Amino acid sequence: MERTNRLSMMPILIWTICVWIFSPPGAEAQFDYRVKFYREECPQARELVKDVVLKATAADMGLSAALLRLNFHDCFIRGCDGSVLLDSNFTNIAEKDGFGNMFSLRGYRVIDDAKAAVEAVCPNIVSCADILTLAARDAIASIGGPAWRVTSGRRDGVVSYASETIDNLPAHYSDFADLTRLFAKKNFTAKEMVVLAGAHTIGRTKCGMIHGRLYNNSGPDGVDPTLNATYAVELKKQCPFRTNFFKHVPMDPTNHNNTFDTNYFKNLQHHKGLFKSDAALVSNVKGRALVALQTSTRRFFLDFGAAMEKMINTEILISPQGEIRTNCRHTN
C-alpha cells in the first residue's frame, strides 16, 4: 500500500523537479506575462484563430503543412515578425516572392481570414506575427502532432526583402555543412536542425524539385546515388522525365493521411529522403545518430515542441518596436 502511494507520487516529484530546472526565476514571470498577453485586451483571440485554422485545414488537409512552413519561413528571416506575409509593391519585392518562397508558400488566405475574425472583435490589438504563430501550432496540434506553448505580444515588422530569402532559408539542395551553418546562424544546434526537419513528415513538393536527383545525377540512369534505388523507381513513375513538373509528390512516401509521426526519420534511415537536404541528414555519423534518436515518437514530439518554442521566440519584435498591422499584407 505504502509502496503504491510512493510510486504514484513519483511523476509529480519528477514534474516538479523538471519545472524547477527549466523555469529559472525571473524568466518565468516574463514568460507567463506574455502567454497571457491578450487575456485582458482580446481574450477571444486564441479561440478565433483556432476556429479559422480548423475550418481551413478540414477543407484542405495540406494546409497544416503549409502553415507550419509559413511560420518557419517567417521566423528565419528577421524573426517571427510577419514579414513573410507582406505583399510586394511598386517599390519593393517582398520575401514571399523571393527564392525558395515564390510559387511554393501558401496559407496566406487562412491568416487573412483569422486576422479579419480577430479584428472584428478587437481591432488593432493582435499582430499578424502572433496570428501566424498560433495558426501553425493549432494546425499541427489538430492533426495529432505535438503542441507547443505560444507566447503572444510579437509585433509586426515593416520590412520584407526578397533578397533576404537566399541567405536565410535552407534550400532543397543544401548539404549537411550548409544546413548546419544556416541553423547555427539562428542559434540552433545540429540536433534542433534535425528535429525541425521532421516537419517533412507531412507536406508535399512538386516533381520539378526532384528532377535533378532522378535524372541528372551521378548514379546509374542519372539517379542520385544517395537515393534508395527502389524509391527512385517509384518516384520516376510519379515524375516521368521532363514532364509533370508541377505534379505533387508527398515529402514522406508513407504519409497518406497527414499523420505527424516519426516515419520521416525512419525513411531517412532507408535513404528515402526526398530532397538532397533530407538525404544530407544521414550523410555522416553525427547526422545518423541524431536521426536515430528521433525515431522515438515521445522523443520527437518533445524535441519538436521545444525547438518550435525556441524558434517562435527568437529575434521577435516587442513593443514599442514594429506595429500591429491592420491588414497582414501591407504595413499600416
Ligand X SMILES: *[C@@H]1O[C@H](CO)[C@@H](O)[C@H](O)[C@H]1NC(C)=O
Residue 218 is a binding residue for ligand X (CB under 6 A): no
Closer residue to ligand X in complex, CB, 89/284: 89
Residue 226 is a binding residue for ligand X (CB under 6 A): no
Instruction: Give the whole-angstrom CA distance, residue 137 versus residue 20.
Output: 25
Q: What is the 3-state secondary structure (H, E, C) of 107-168?
A: CHHHHHHHHHHHHHHCCCCCCHHHHHHHHHHHHHHCCCCCCCCCCCCECECCCCCHHHHHHH
Instruction: Give the whole-angstrom CA distance, residue 232 versus residue 223.
Output: 7
Closer residue to ligand X in complex, CB, 114/227: 227
Among 34, 50, 200, 271, indicate the residue that binds ligand X (CB under 6 A): 271
User: Which parts of the chain are beta strand (E)?
Assistant: 204-206, 248-250
Q: How far is the CB of 159 from ligand X (least distance, A)?
A: 6
Q: Is 73 a catalytic residue?
A: yes
Length of the chain: 332
Contacts to ligand X from residues 184-203, by CB under 6 A:
186-187
Residue 321 is a binding residue for ligand X (CB under 6 A): no
Q: How far is the CB of 313 from ligand X (least distance, A)?
A: 9
Task: For residue 316, give every residue at least 6 positions away whose Cβ sits within 8 Å of its Cβ, in sequence order, or none.
Answer: 79, 80, 81, 129, 154, 155
Closer residue to ligand X in complex, CB, 148/188: 188
Residue located via cell numbers 527549466: 22
Could you list the active site residues? 73
In the annotated binding site, the residues are 74, 79, 81, 83, 95, 170, 200-201, 252, 261
Residues that bind ligand X (CB under 6 A): 86, 89-92, 94, 158, 160, 186-187, 216, 228, 230-231, 257, 270-271, 314-315, 331
